Amino acid sequence: MQPFGPLRSKCGQKEWVMSDANYEIEEDVKDQVERNPVRAQMHKQDARIKELEGKLLEATEAQRKLMFVEAGVDINAASARYFVKGYDGEMTADAIRQAAQETNLISATQMKPEVQAEQNAWNRVSKAKSFGENSEPEVDWNTKIRNSKSQDEVMQILAQASQASQNI
């Protein structure tokens, strides 16, 4: 049993020496980093690059979602999520809208809000134009009331004026 005693102590010593050696190597690396300002700057720049790459990825994803919203795709709909995730075409609102119409996510008659507002404005202008061409000349209600001869006639003129104002 005695022969194992000295071996055991030597094994324990080697393990202690090795762990001590690792500790010394770690200290040397830290000292080299502190002593080498270029390496320290490189580590800082690497960390900054990783941070900026993360922000770029977030911004790119936000821009991608914005293009789908501008195209009229509801990105919160279950079927649209797969479309948004799998779309690899041109990243313009018109191209996305066309692809969404092909996959029946949005109807062909559905328009962008700006286009719809402009179309409504043109419709109002054309209605006003056609109203001006087809309508009778403007009635001067004040003159009619002044020229009336009885109270009943004034009441009829007021009723006509009320009716005409509702038809406009």
- Considering the domain architecture, whether residues 67 and 129 belong to the same structural domain is answered as yes
Q: Per-residue pLDDT tens for 127-141?
A: 777 665 555 667 788
**Do the domain assignments include residue 19?**
no
**Do the domain assignments include residue 9?**
no
- Considering the domain architecture, whether residues 97 and 116 belong to the same structural domain is answered as yes
Number of C-beta neighbours around residue 94 at 10 A: 11
**For residue 105, which of 76, 88, 83, 85 has the smallest C-alpha distance?**
83
**Do the domain assignments include residue 41?**
no
Q: Per-residue pLDDT tens for 106-131?
A: 876 655 666 677 777 877 877 777 66
Check whether 49 has a pLDDT greater than 70: yes
- Considering the domain architecture, whether residues 67 and 130 belong to the same structural domain is answered as yes
- Considering the domain architecture, whether residues 153 and 109 belong to the same structural domain is answered as no
Say if residues 168 and 135 touch (Cβ distance below 8 Å). no
Q: What's the pLDDT at 57?
A: 94
Number of C-beta neighbours around residue 83 at 10 A: 17
Q: What's the pLDDT at 88?
A: 87
72: number of CA atoms within 13 Å, CB side?
A: 20
Number of domains present in the structure of the chain: 2
The residue range of the domain holding 161 is: 136-168
**Do the domain assignments include residue 26?**
no
**Do the domain assignments include residue 30?**
no
